[in-house]
Amino acid sequence: MRWSVPLGRIFGIALRLHVTFLLLVAFIGYQGYLVAGGRGAGWAVALVCSVFACIVIHELGHSVVAQRLGVEVRSITLLPIGGVAALRTIPENPWHEIAITLAGPMMNLIIACLLLPFTGWPTEFLLVHYPHDLAGLLKTLVGVNLGLFGFNFIPAFPMDGGRLLRAVLALFVSYRRATVVAATVGQGLAILFIVAGLKFSAMWIILGAFIFLAAEGEEKAVKMRSLLRDIEVADVMTREFVTLTPQAPLREALTAMYRTGQDDFPVQEGDRLAGWLTRQAVIDAINSHGEDTPVAAVMDADPPVLSPRNKVSWVHEQMMADHYQGFPVMENGRLVGLLGPDNISRYLLLQESLKPKRPARAPTPTPPPVIAAVPPTAAPPPPATTLPPADRA
Ligand SMILES: [Zn+2]
């Protein structure tokens, strides 16, 4: 996640802190200061840090159980709105999802039970007063943990309750159907929150809107995964493309971008893949060093490559996780195709528009790859005054 800094590793999982979290600490500290001066600020900061420690333990609960079930956990990031554990793969076995989901709120229940003998029953949950001593801090923490435990059972994405509802439904119907039903329940609740917010508090309206959008996002993500599940890189990769040589000046790459719409270029030396050149690298290098810079100076000399047999769903996860935009596809040491986000989005668009669905896999043998090269004597590009935008849609 951008704008997050590493804090270290726990159980092999990278713990990261989003910089906006520091703004929250400063804000809460200032509120504490307004209530009770320097001491108030100190206790307020202690409270917000303790609450986030509990959230880390909650996320670790999810993560450690996920690891035990063979799901790789990439990182836990602390945001001002809570924690996010990023799983590399999504568990689609309902029992696994139930176990992973329950582990988080159970951690909050355990923390509350451990502290309860020292504090007595709290009077507030989630809505907290700033504490002014250790006893007050611990009592507030019990309330917060019980509040988090209850809050996470609201059956709406992105709360754990939404995942739990989906997993239980998935014991009876398909994963995708279960997601649609769980998302609809969540959106129904979101509308109730918004209506309640009109009467009680604007906070409910914000929460309702947030839940409504999260449900939609989850439904889309699952629909996409199910559409991508059975297709392989060979089914959707680009087979006609331009290659560059390491010695070519970047002017050639720019010309090829204008003329072909291709953004990333395999760099070939004879039959060997020598590197990978991205549009962003071309833009940055031309802006700082000019169009005569050779491709070899800015290409990635050791790019990750795909096999035509790789699952597209897996590739998509790598793209999302590692911010790779495109890949060369190699078979038996030979470059046979390119795959980028455009290939995937085009496939999804077609699948969603066609009725009935027609798979990408062609019934006839696919034609051999055609590899074109940019003529070195290419004319200057059309009179565009600006470079294309840096970020792809
Ligand atoms: Zn959770």
What residues contact residue 201 under an 8 Å CB cut-off, 6+ apart?
none
Q: At what angle do helices 94-119 and 20-68 cross, to 10 degrees?
A: 120
Which structural domains are found in the chain, ordered by start? Answer: 4-152 (no CATH), 233-373 (3.10.580.10)
59 is catalytic: yes
Q: What separation in Å is there between the alpha carbon of 1 and the centre of ligand 1?
A: 18
Question: Contact, 214 vs 202, CB < 8 A?
Answer: no
User: Is residue 246 reached through a cis peptide bond, with omega within 30 degrees of 0 on the bond before it?
Assistant: no
Q: Taking the mean position of all CA atoms in its chain, how far away is CA 5?
A: 16
- 312 CA to centre of ligand 1 in angstroms: 28
User: What CA–CA distance (Å, rounded) separates 329 from 305?
Assistant: 6
In angstroms, the CA 99 to CA 91 distance is 10
Main-chain dihedrals φ then ψ at residue 156, nearest 5 degrees: -145, 135
Say which of 59, 97, 218, 232 is annotated catalytic. 59
* Distance of CA 57 from the midpoint of ligand 1 (Å): 10
| Residue of 100, 90, 46, 102 lying closest to 68 (CA atoms) | 100
In 3D, which of 299, 298, 262, 288 has the Cα closest to residue 388?
262
Q: What does the pLDDT read at residue 364?
A: 46
- Give me ligand 1 centre to Cα 219, in Å: 18
pLDDT (tens digit per residue) in 174-200: 888 888 898 889 889 889 989 988 888
Beta strand pairing status for 13-18 and 4-10? Answer: antiparallel
DSSP classification of residue 332: T
The alpha carbon of 59 and the centre of ligand 1 are apart by a number of angstroms equal to 6
Beta bridge partners of 294: 249
pLDDT of residue 289: 92
Of 103, 135, 133, 102, the closest CA to residue 119 belongs to 135
The answer to whether residues 263 and 392 touch, using CB atoms and an 8 Å cutoff, is yes
- Which residues are within 8 A (CB) of 157 and not within 5 positions of it... i.e. 6 or more apart? 163, 166, 182, 183, 186, 211, 214, 215, 217, 218
Cα(349) to centroid(ligand 1), Å: 32
Residues of the chain with pLDDT under 70: 1-2, 80-81, 88-89, 124-128, 321-323, 356-393
Q: Tell me, what amino acid is at 300?
A: D
- Tell me how far apart the alpha carbons of residues 163 and 179 are, in angstroms, rounded to a whole number: 8
Rounded to the nearest angstrom, the distance between the alpha carbon of 138 and the centre of ligand 1 is: 22
pLDDT at 237: 93
Q: How remote is the CA of residue 241 from the centroid of ligand 1, in Å? A: 45
The whole-number pLDDT of residue 243 equals 94
Note the pLDDT of residue 123.
73
CA distance 227 to 236: 13
Count of all residues that appear for the chain in the document? 393
